[in-house]
Chain A
Amino acid sequence: MHSYGYRANGVLSLSLTILALLCTVASLSGGILNLPPPSAQVEVVNINWFQKHRSGNDEVSLTLNISANLESLFTWNTKQIFVFLAAEYETPKNSLNQVSIWDGIIPSIEQAKFRINTINKYRLADQGNNLRGREFNLTLHWHVMPRTGKMFADKIVMTGYRMPHEYV
């Protein structure tokens, strides 16, 4: 009745239940720190070049100033935040184009307030040649990756950017 097997089984299942419970509680809790909500500013400092690529697609190279404060997203269940900047626009061909042009991983709250100056890390190329004079949004997306539990994402949309009317 009270063999070692039973005791081991009992201890194991109890500890697994408690662990699962703690993980659930950890993933549900959060937002305890009272910090200002996320904020972001992006400035297009320069259009380095803008041309029609050999493949026939418009492609542009930008220099950007990105500053953001994502400190309030960190809780004790946050492993890291994946943050990326996407150019988003509509063309006659596509109802939505989302092109990630910069991304980064924020491993701790100390690095959650940042300001960087960078050229686009990934190619900003259209499917076609619809970029001249095109209005576009720059959206800062973040994906919060937990130590355990549910992942969540949100974004800040910044509007009113426009491509040059001629290739440069």
Chain B
Amino acid sequence: MGWIGETVDSIKSIQIRQVLSQAVSLGMIVTSALIIWKALMCITGSESPVVVVLSGSMEPGFKRGDILFLHMSKDPIRAGEIVVFNVDGREIPIVHRVIKVHERQDTGEVDVLTKGDNNYGDDRLLYAHGQLWLQRHHIMGRAVGFLPYVGWVTIIMTEKPLIKYVLIGALGLLVITSKD
């Protein structure tokens, strides 16, 4: 109980100057996070440099909750690469492996077919109705790096918003009551 009393006291003793400096430091945290994210977008050339795996279709390589780092370069797409792609009419991008590539002689355009390592068949069932191939513009990036488990944080937060609010509230309180 002593901790709560201390916290209440420290809130009471806040001065205008202190409030301002804390607002500034909070702003610094938020903006630096934004700067890091935007810098990553620039470096990787992908509009979402980090994605969380949501399904088990690439198991045992990638499990639900793993994090993938994406990179989008001008390099042509080749079989075997793990790409993140959007399908028309689907909101959530899919992370699957390229199994077929046909690159046109005259225009250099590519037709790509993907498949999840853990799925029995290829992805034509997931594509838009009647779509046989993915083109370059469907592909958002290719996976280059891998970090396990960390994505669970965002999965839990999107599925249980209450935990998100509690966490944000607690962090906010910590920032407000910190004395340094």
Contacts and interface: CB of A to CB of B under 8 A. Distances in A.
A98 B101 contact: yes
A93 B104 contact: yes
B9 interface: no
Chain B's interface size range is 20 to 34
Contact of A95 (B78, B105, B146, B147): B105
Interface string B141-180: 0011111100000000000000000000000001000010
A80 interface: yes
B100 A151 contact: no
A98 B147 contact: no
Interface residues of A, number: 36
B25 to A, nearest CB: 15
Contacts of B123: none
A99 interface: yes
B104 A5 contact: no
B102 A96 contact: yes
Contacts, number: 85
Given A80-B60, A98-B79, A151 B143 contact: yes
A95 B31 CA distance: 47
Nearest to B76: A96
A98 B60 contact: no
A146 interface: yes
A95 B61 contact: no
A94 B102 contact: yes
A106 to B, nearest CB: 11
B144 A150 contact: yes
Interface in A133-148: 141, 143, 145-148
A86 interface: yes
B61 A80 contact: yes
B79 A141 contact: yes
Contacts of B105: 91-95
Interface in A1-33: 1, 3-5, 9, 23
Contacts of A3: 3, 6
